[in-house]
Structure 1
Amino acid sequence: MKIKMITVGKLKEKYLKSGIEEYAKRMSRFAKLELIEVPDEKTPEKASDAENTEIMAKEGARIQAKIGERDYVVVLAIEGKQFPSEEFSEKLSQAMLNGYGTLTFIIGGSLGLDPAIKKSANLLLSFGKLTLPHQLMRLVLIEQIYRAFMIREGSPYHK
């Protein structure tokens, strides 16, 4: 099993890197984790809607180039579906049982994601209506993926 996390922009904060490294280490017994950062586009101050759309399309093309043909793609989107952790674990298990060798998670940039990426996803996932920094969301996501694997094996970690 392979898990890819594709994100827009570079992770800069040491404390977030440290947390992500810790969960990546824990998760290594379940899956091979690949963290992919695609460059973000510079957004002009007071960018027009057309400029924002163009920026998201460029970032979307970079993301699309990293998605495999047979990946099960989960896009983080505020309009996505919310799940309790147990149900999220079940969704991931079902994807694996359905023959997907790679679970790919996508976190967009500060402007959001190209609609084409959202449209091609197998699942739109939301962690709620709150707006969280994209860099913090990486840590939250990797912890929830780890939790899903722990639930799957019946570990007390989830309790």
Structure 2
Amino acid sequence: MRLSVIAAGRLKPGPEKLLAEDYLTRASGLGRKAGIARIAVTEFPESQASSPAARMAEEARLIAGALPPRAFGVVLDERGKALASEAFAELLRRHLETGTADMAFLIGGPDGHAPETREQAGLLLSFGPMTWPHRLVRVMLFEQIYRAVTILTGHPYHRG
């Protein structure tokens, strides 16, 4: 399976980018043992449109254009379902076992996702009811992907 992270907003040089790259490198390396062929990141600038609705619509078009065909879409949204790390790993396992070719994690801009992006998602995933800046969400997502891979491969990183 191939994983994609598609994000509105670019990570600027700094501690968040270093941490995100570290977890991405770890997840990519160990992920191959779990059946994850690659983890690709696509990012684009946040929309500069004048209204929130216009910004969300523009970002929705960019996200839709970056989605692999027939990918299972996981939209990160505070209104989504919160999963424990083990349940997140089980989600990946189920998709690996059922032959899902592509899974895409979608991170919206400061205004969130457009309604149509949320409606088309296979899963709305929440890291809790708080709103998180995209640069932290990216670190949290990469860490959880890495943690899920360690759970799937029996690596001792996850000791929960």
- Tell me the equivalent position of 1:89: 89
Task: Calculate the TM-score normalised by the size of structure 1.
Answer: 0.91
- What stretches of structure 1 move > 2 A for 4+ residues in a row? none
Shift of 1:70: 2.1
- The answer to whether residue 49 in structure 2 is matched with residue 38 in structure 1 is no
> Helix, strand or coil: the match of 1:76?
strand
Q: Does the 8 Å contact 1:88/1:148 carry over to 2? A: yes
Q: Deviations over 1:21-56 (max 9, x none)?
A: 111211223131111102211154xxxxxx211221
Q: Deviations over 1:53-83 (max 9, x none)?
A: 1221111000000112221111101110011
Distance 2:16 2:125 in 1: 21
Q: Does the 8 Å contact 1:10/1:37 carry over to 2? A: yes
Q: Does the 8 Å contact 1:6/1:35 carry over to 2? A: yes
- Tell me the equivalent position of 2:155: 155
Q: Does the 8 Å contact 2:77/2:124 carry over to 1? A: yes
- Tell me the equivalent position of 2:25: 25
Q: How many residues align?
A: 153
Counting only pairs closer than 5 Å after superposition, residues 77-156 of structure 1 correspond to structure 2 as 77-156=77-156
Q: Does the 8 Å contact 2:8/2:46 carry over to 1? A: yes
Q: Does the 8 Å contact 2:81/2:126 carry over to 1? A: yes
> Helix, strand or coil: the match of 1:157?
coil
Q: Does the 8 Å contact 2:9/2:134 carry over to 1? A: no
1:17 is matched by which residue type in structure 2?
K
Q: Deviations over 1:104-137 (max 9, x none)?
A: 1011000001111111111100010122211111
Q: Deviations over 1:85-114 (max 9, x none)?
A: 001100111122222112210110000011
2:158 is matched by which residue type in structure 1?
H
Mark the runs of 5 or more structure 2 residues left unpaired by the alignment: none
- Tell me the equivalent position of 1:55: 55
Distance 2:27 2:55 in 1: 33
> Helix, strand or coil: the match of 1:75?
strand
